[in-house]
Structure 1
Amino acid sequence: MKDSKIRTLGKYKESYLLMAPYMIFFLMFTILPVVLSIVLGFTYYNMIEPPRFIGWYNYIRLFLDDDIFIIALKNTLFFALVTGPISYILSFFVAWMINDLSRTLRSIATSVFYIPTVVGAAVFPMWRLIFSPDEYGYLNGLLMGMGFINEPVAWLLDKEYVLAILILVQLWMSLGISFLAFVAGLQTVDRSLYEAGVMDGIKNRFQELWYITLPSMIPQLIFGAVMQIVVSFSVADVSIQLAGFPSTEYAGETMVTHIMDYGSIRYEMGYASAMAVVLFFLMVFTNRVVTKLLNKVGI
């Protein structure tokens, strides 16, 4: 058995050699950090003293003593519940709508829709100007001019509006990797299937979409779902740039910003690692549920 494995390794040594750089980086920057986070989650570690094992204390503290973590957890779940499905569906339907354009027009349309994802951080000042708390803010000026409000509203400082605004901006930036995967996947669907579908009784584009396009794009759909889950649960920059760090009464706090608070400001790396582990398993659980749902509907 061992000799057989050695012969197989020797037979495909060029392939393994080409895979080696990726596998090394994957192990160093993905697998190893996850394992270290799980280990450090059971310790007190401040980056000065050696890690000290404290068992489940960090996790007990998370759910019983850290009220801000509970707020961040609720915000993150709500954020993911709203932005994840909407962004996923929006990414697919935009890709589907531009799929039949000519190659040049499709490339232009793809660039236009993908630009917000690329330049998202660069246009945060524009969003701050739109939601500026004085009468010079675009939204306040518009609403005051139309008579809907009598005085400026501090949109990004009022806890009632912060989360809704962050979701709106995140949706504007949502056509990312999933969108590109769907654009590529739609181009790989065998055109002869559509001709066969017409002969089998498919009468409109929505039947064509459900019975031919979606089943033919299983890898891209699963990949898009995984990427969308990761993006939805790892929101941080939009909250920090628009709502502040921390935001008013932690209205825009997410699990990632809470991890950054304890990891890069307070240097409680053991506690931050425990939060990262909770977020990791939350992503894994959500990914399993979404994958089963997609498989259940035949996708």
Structure 2
Amino acid sequence: MSDHPLDHATHQVHAAQAARDKLAVKAFFDEPTNTASYVIHDPATRRAAIVDSVLDFDAASGRTSTASADAMIAYVRAEGLTLDWLLETHAHADHLSAAPYIQQTLGGKLAIGREIITVQNVFGKIFNVGTEFARDGSEFDRLFEDGDEFAIGSIPAIALHVPGHTPADMAYVIGDVVFTGDTLFMPDFGTARADFPGGDARQLYQSIRRLLALPDATRLFLCHDYKAPGRDSYVWETTVAAERAGNIHVRDGVEEDAFVEMRTKRDATLAMPKLILPSVQVNIRGGQLPEPEENGKRYLKLPLDTL
């Protein structure tokens, strides 16, 4: 059976590679969370999007700050861009999203995959958030289905559902560029974990192979980098060809069952991300912080002996 969204994305990538105006990509790397965020824009129209923004958070003090987001806002303004989209690849477990703060400042629509509703239901129970939390994705302006089309200015874009790390992960194919979220890492580091609630290593393999069916020259921009052993610098851009040839977990020739066995064993050795509890309860709300209580303070929950 033909994978129509992928066929369409492949055609889009080929067309974009031949086009004169290509998507402009500016990365902002947050070393405390090893997160790469992006401001992207169409050079012809100056319309822009931000992918996977970071709200600075110090877990020890419970303090938030906006230095990372402010750097992206300053870049958007300096470049004379109009922000149309705030794209989230999934409900991150390693950093808080700054999307509401940026949206309040620059505008734009906040978007994520429709399966965020599944994640909201799972974690809504874990955090015992009560009936005031709708669990219907209404915190977001757009819930993407697999194959949904949109645009950054005149540059076409397609949302691809790539579950496995979480049920809600999306990759965004924009022109000849893909923002992979937490599926792939650099070839020397491998792939994302699949042991969070709702994660599935077999789904992750299938999602990755779907992305790696795109043309070899397709540029991939990753959400994280951790400097693999022997590498001294952070890197967050690669290609389909490089991943197919050299990814230590999922290069060509690695079969699905072997990947699932490797991923399952590896995940069993990994500690939970340091910020998973604060991050997820904020990010399932579209990055909105909890409402202040009667004393004017906001509080995050820490469910004990749960994850």
TM tier, smaller: under 0.3
- Higher relative strand content: 2
Q: Which has the higher contact order (CA 8 A, sep 6+)?
A: 1
Q: TM-score scaled to structure 2, two decimals?
A: 0.25
